[in-house]
Amino acid sequence: MLRKILLPLLALAVPTLLTAKITREVEKSFRVGDDAAIEVDISGGSIDVEIGSDDQFHVTLQQTFRTNSESEADEILERYDVTLDQSGDRVRVIVRSDKKSGGWFSGWRNRGANFSVKLIAPAHADLNLDTSGGSIRVDGDSRGEIIADTSGGSISVDGSAGHMNLDTSGGSIRVGYALSRLRADTSGGSITIGYVGPDADDINADTSGGSITIGLDPAGGYDLLADTSGGSVHINGLSFRAEKKTRTHAEGEINGGGARVRADTSGGGITIKAADR
């Protein structure tokens, strides 16, 4: 009889616990110089970056707790180490869960926090962005190095004149333009690179689960290697001299060769095409 009463009560209580939430924001600004760099490493949320026009990092750390109790939110937060600090031109925004607690309900509460970051960054700054469970987006024209790594979301970068290293285990990758070196690697989505400049250094796109589209400057020289296990390779609007060309493989020079461009997918087609920035 008691079980018959408790089960409906639990069914009503669980949705309430899951939908209740408290949101807090921490805002901080850091003035930096020529060697500006920031490391963002968070648990469970997105990272959104806007390239700004001044020499400051403006950081907004959003904390979301799945509870309607302020005191319980405080208890959950105590299980995380939250760092917002600066050393010279280097800034860190780091959230790590390294405090242990026992019991099923304590474990559930420890998973009841989500952290996301909104950031305005100088154009020349190097960005090192890491999240365990959300998307990463960089809007605007960057001149610095961009490292972006997520275990559970997509990556979108407007572009950079610096090196880019983009890695996701669970989503697509979009790059507006690449003027230097680019590595884009995903285990679960498509890769789109809108434009590769004629002075680009090395372009590497690898996916286990989607298509690849790369736009190349028609005036640039490139050494192309494209291979797919799950579709076809198409080259459109470019002067391509093939060393080897089949339906699923293309290897050769574009405009006499130059920067290395590699595209590899196990689950879709590959399109290499002429593009203007």
Task: Return the structure tokens found at 252.
Answer: 């050769």
Kindly state the average pLDDT of the residues 20-34. 95
**What are residue 84's phi and psi, to 5 degrees?**
-130, 100
> What CA–CA distance (Å, rounded) separates 160 from 122?
12
**What are residue 66's phi and psi, to 5 degrees?**
-85, 70
pLDDT digits (tens, 9 = 90+) for 39-61: 999 988 999 999 999 999 999 99
One DSSP character per residue, 97-127 reads E-----SHHHHHHHT-EEEEEEEEE-TT-EE
pLDDT digits (tens, 9 = 90+) for 200-239: 999 999 999 899 999 999 999 999 999 999 899 999 999 9
Q: Which region among 10-19, 180-189, 200-209 has the lowest average model confidence (pLDDT)?
A: 10-19
Task: Return the structure tokens found at 246.
Answer: 């089949």
> What CA–CA distance (Å, rounded) separates 116 from 45?
4
- The predicted model scores a pTM of 0.89
Counting every residue written for the chain, the total comes to 277
Q: Residue 210 is inside which H or E element, if any? A: none
pLDDT for residue 10 is more than 60: no
Contact assessment for residue 146 and residue 162, using Cβ atoms and an 8 Å cutoff: yes
pLDDT for residue 109 is more than 60: no
Q: Where are the alpha helices (DSSP H) in the chain?
A: 2-19, 70-77, 104-110
pLDDT for residue 67 is more than 70: yes
Long-range Cβ pairs for the range 197-205 (8 Å, 24+): 197/277, 198/258, 199/259, 200/259, 201/163, 201/259, 202/259, 202/260, 203/178, 203/259, 203/260, 203/261, 203/262, 204/260, 204/262, 205/173, 205/262, 205/263, 205/264
Q: Residue 178 is inside which H or E element, if any? A: strand 173-178
